[in-house]
Structure 1
């Protein structure tokens, strides 16, 4: 089995502390991954209202969120100014690429994207993607080729805009296998490499799963055959910090079983992105995750180029 590792980096603390921890872990196990960065202001404090939604860190509520993210991060954008992640973390971001990992975009402001994109128009969406693309260009002196939407949130304009901005493939959705999204009115759309496995925090929010079983439950989920590869999403703020021991046990289980742990770039290299099946994008809920997410919807019965 091939398992693509997608690291979501959303905060300054995750960038400065979680990312270096993951680099050391991946080097120790000789693993390559895809890192998707938020590159603008860290406004995590403005997302505090999500804590009180049903299902958000249900096992520990506010105490758990504080222990994982830290009180300073949870005040960014409210009582504290919003630090610029791309500028403050540029050296570490370049170290990720230098270590051979794939680098790409998650968002400019992950809170603004996650909270607003589903209800915004094409102009707003293009502006947000452009801000992130320009920040990436400043840091890496090359265009971004992969995007993964914050919180698996998007709208009908995202797939076509990604293609226009030079994104070669995206991981914005939850699903079963790579596909080309079909969106009304769009003549081309960026191929999707959806997240296929549950995240550790989603499993933590399911009361029947004990914390010491997390890596075993996720490993069993990965035993379900995937047409090309599984994609596992992890967070620099969680698996890069307090959940790192759980992640390492999971990595060891995968490698002991002979699984190949790779970046999304490695998976894409084995695909003909112009001949993927075409699917609509649907909205739905997943166990352990609050709110509605973008999902791989029904197939249209077509294959086609972007």
Structure 2
């Protein structure tokens, strides 16, 4: 069978402190590798409440029990409580994941700020945000980050170019069907994008009666062939309340014969001469509100 690259987005302080160690234990039991992508600056999760007026946001919130998964305190960060500095407060938990043998990389500096603004921002703002995350990563880990996975699959052309400037060989910043080199102004960049290919738990829960007891089966229906996939999970969801469902999914993938790998493993197995080029594009994904980076037809 194929490879399933496990990409873990860590959005919050609580997710870093609680969800990340839980996931590491589950992955270890399943003999699975994975890539943890950390938010490295302030936790302003409460700012996300401003999205309440966006089409589809309330519907998603009602399906995924945001308060249950994130907790009242986290939802107050940036609103009634100051946003804690995740990279300062949870550096030891981040290093513990690296020391346990898992790949680590950058998710973002300020998750909500990036998610809600990057599409319309200029090069100066974009590079400043990315540089803050890069410097903090190097401070925490004592080494440069190997990869990047954008918050909310939100990017702009300057962000894609910055990944090349850093010399990263691969990143996972959007949704799609398979590896490609993104193009800016018609010119392909050097790094390879490894887009998320499978729906996430929060996009599927509550749709057509799918609940925590059946969601693993739904995902397993999509991985019965021998193709490669990238699955994005969240420390705040699969690392906490949805942990039993994720463990069932891991066991199911093992039973199907898939290799459970990190992003670096997936990239290392590619024939880079066959990776196509594709323009940067925006589009909608079922179960998620708003537009995000998607993979258009190859050039």
Q: Under TM normalisation by the shorter chain, which class is it?
A: over 0.9
CA distance in 2, matches of 1:252, 1:72: 33
CA distance in 1, matches of 2:78, 2:240: 22
Worse-matched range after superposition: 44-53 or 285-294? 44-53
What pairs up with 1:57-136 in 2 under 5 angstroms? Answer: 58=59, 61=62, 64-136=65-137
Q: Are the structure 2 counterparts of residues 42 and 216 from structure 1 closer, same or farther at C-alpha, using a change threshold of 3 Å?
A: same
CA distance in 2, matches of 1:60, 1:185: 38
- 2:205/2:211 contact within 8 Å kept: yes
Q: Are the structure 2 counterparts of residues 179 and 20 from structure 1 closer, same or farther at C-alpha, using a change threshold of 3 Å?
A: same
- 1:160/1:186 contact within 8 Å kept: no
Q: Are the structure 2 counterparts of residues 84 and 24 from structure 1 closer, same or farther at C-alpha, using a change threshold of 3 Å?
A: same
Aligned to 1:263: 262
Extract unaligned runs of 5+ from structure 2: none
Number of residues of Structure 1 aligned to a counterpart in Structure 2 = 298
Deviations 1:255-296 (A, max 9, x none): 112111010010111124465210112111111111101001
Q: Secondary structure at the match of 1:5?
A: strand
CA distance in 1, matches of 2:139, 2:41: 12
Aligned to 1:150: 151
**Distance apart, 1:63 and its partner CA:** 8.6
What pairs up with 1:21-40 in 2 under 5 angstroms? Answer: 21-40=22-41
**Distance apart, 1:169 and its partner CA:** 0.9
- 2:60/2:289 contact within 8 Å kept: no
1:241 is aligned to 2:227: no
Aligned to 1:284: 283
Higher relative contact order (CA 8 A, sep 6+): 2
**Distance apart, 1:70 and its partner CA:** 0.1
Q: Secondary structure at the match of 2:164?
A: helix
CA distance in 2, matches of 1:189, 1:125: 19
- 2:40/2:109 contact within 8 Å kept: yes
- 1:219/1:253 contact within 8 Å kept: yes
Q: Are the structure 2 counterparts of residues 164 and 205 from structure 1 closer, same or farther at C-alpha, using a change threshold of 3 Å?
A: farther
Q: Secondary structure at the match of 2:136?
A: helix
Aligned to 1:4: 5
1:139 is aligned to 2:144: no
Q: Secondary structure at the match of 1:298?
A: coil
CA distance in 1, matches of 2:157, 2:243: 35
**Distance apart, 1:119 and its partner CA:** 0.3
Q: Are the structure 2 counterparts of residues 253 and 273 from structure 1 closer, same or farther at C-alpha, using a change threshold of 3 Å?
A: same
What pairs up with 1:289-300 in 2 under 5 angstroms? Answer: 289-300=288-299
Q: Secondary structure at the match of 1:146?
A: coil
| TM-score, normalization by structure 1 | 0.92
Calculate the aligned-residue CA RMSD, in Å. Answer: 1.8
Extract unaligned runs of 5+ from structure 1: 301-306
| TM-score, normalization by structure 2 | 0.95
CA distance in 2, matches of 1:14, 1:52: 26
Deviations 1:182-220 (A, max 9, x none): 111656343100000000100015244344221111111
Q: Are the structure 2 counterparts of residues 283 and 98 from structure 1 closer, same or farther at C-alpha, using a change threshold of 3 Å?
A: same
